Each structure stands twice: as C-alpha cells, then as structure tokens.
Amino acid sequence: MAYEQLKLENQLCFPFYAVSRLIIRAYQDDLDQLGITYPQYLVLMVLWENDFQTVNEIGDKLILNTNTITPLLKRMETMELLERKQSVTDQRKVMVNLTAKGQKLQEQAADIPLRLMQKMQIEPTESKLEEFIVLKSQLNDLIKLLKEVR
C-alpha cells in the first residue's frame, strides 16, 4: 500500500472505536434488564452523581451536542426517568432532575461495573484496579487534548 498512514492497523482511532463498541455490547444485557440504552445510562449516571443540572451541563459532561442530548432527554422524560423544567432564575435554561423511578434505577444499576469486570473475567484485585485507574487517567488526558481540536 502506498499510504501506510491509511492502514487500519496504523490508526490510533480504531482501537478506541472497537473498545467502545465492545464495552457497550458487554453492558447490553444489564441495560436491557433496566429497560435503558447506553446513552440513557450515561445520563442517569450524571444525574445520580449530581441531580438538578441544566441540559447544557449534562451535554458538556457527556460531550454531546444539544441536538443529540435534547431528544435523548425527551425520550427519558417519556419513560418517566427524569423531568425537564424551565429554570426559575433563567428562562433560557432547562433544568433536569430525576424522578423517583430514575432514582430507583441507581440501586438496580449499582452492580453493573462489577458485572462488566466479571464478564471480562477480570478479578478486581488492587493491582488490576490500579491498572484501570492509570488507563482511565491516560484516556481522560487524551479526551482533554481532543476536546481542544476543532
């Protein structure tokens, strides 16, 4: 091949793409039991951590544009997992908070990360957890760099 830089095996992006798809697939059975999709799971995690956030805050944390996050939140509102309301202090902002049903899912989802490790046949030892912490830190650094790319 004349352009080595165009070989799939030479791409930095492909392993990330593949890992992302495979992780989402590994989560699928657990999320199906909860009746939610992976993007909905991400929104719930953001709100479980800190309820009552604006649409923009959620979109920023998940690196999603408004045209992606808004239909996602509307669907979740239809599912009665969350509520969207105009901000009392700023009518331009829409506040999002969990319903009782959305809060209850947190308890049901609590074991999902551990089950993922079990599916991957990884023992959650201290050294293995440290490896994942280092990897996650490196990925977060890469995310910060890529957020600056336009």
Query: Where in the chain are the domains?
Result: 12-108, 120-150
Q: What is the CATH number of domain 12-108?
A: 1.10.10.10
CA distance 68 to 66: 5
Q: Encode pLDDT of 98-132 as tens digits.
A: 999 999 999 999 999 989 988 988 887 888 889 98
pTM of the entire structure?
Answer: 0.91
| Higher-pLDDT residue of 127, 138 | 138
**Residue 150 pLDDT grade (very low, low, confident, very high; cuts 50, 70, 90):** confident
Tell me how far apart the alpha carbons of residues 66 and 48 are, in angstroms, rounded to a whole number.
Answer: 21
